[in-house]
Amino acid sequence: MIYAVVFPGQGSQYPGMGEELQETDLAQDYFNRAKKILGFDILDVMINGNEEDLKQTKVTQPAVFLHSFIKFQLHKKDLKIEAYTGHSLGEITAIVASGCLGFEEGLTLVKERAFAMQDACQKAESTMAAVLGLDNRSIEGILSEFGKEVVAANYNCPGQVVISGSKSGVTEASQKLRDIGAKRVLELKVGGAFHSPYMEPASLRLNDAIDATDFAIPDKPIYQNFDAKPSKDPFIISSNLKRQLVSPVLWTQTVKNMVADGFTHFAEIGGKGNVLAGLIRKIDRAVEVKII
């Protein structure tokens, strides 16, 4: 069976994650290497921390990355992999899993990304909201009234788009979207307006780190959030990664492109293990998703 491997992003963390991995020598090696890069014992927080502990900036993104990447290393021999992708943070996991970046380089970028995003969040009152039950064109029509103040951040699946922007702008846009027929609009418990122009300071900081990192040719194509297209070109992959924080995650478009390219079996690796599987099935009910 040929698989496209998908990796989840921030929000897929949970207390106790990593407990099932810690007994393996391979996992212990990666966690020890991570401790040197991060400067603290992240495995201890993953296993013994509560939800609030896991929401700490320095913990969340590295924890999700490590959980997914180590699981991938443990299970990749059982999968015939022909492509990779990931949702937001998960894209970096996909890049490392493909061999495009080394483990240390990937985790260093994740660490830099987390702190850069946190700093950007502190510069402006911003937030995100999930819009349910409304088509993309209708949502984009309302958002066009707000310019760069409120934008589409995640095209997760048909009928589910996340918007991102200033708190006041998202509140106003949310009401307008309800008025034209959105079934629900839910403000998300996030630190700021991810995948929007409000992340420009974080993007500039992360781009410096990306420029200082060497990208290799991956073993299989990576479908990226920025353009939803596959690539094995290190320059394109790094360039698209630079654009990610200030651009929408084209998840619906990515999955549709992968299905059009012949992928009918997906494997979601890491995190809670069902976030992306649910979205993929809503995008195309004919595909099968293996949860690892």
Token duo for residue 161: 């788009």
Q: How far apart are CA 256 and CA 242, in angstroms?
A: 23
- First and final C-alpha spacing in the chain: 15
Contact 135, 183 (CB under 8 A): no
**Which residues are known catalytic residues?**
88, 195
Measured CA to CA, the distance from residue 243 to residue 103 in angstroms comes to: 22
3-state secondary structure 159-224: CEEEEEEEHHHHHHHHHHHHHCCCCEEEECCCCCCCCCHHHHHHHHHHHHHHHCCCCCCCCCCEEC
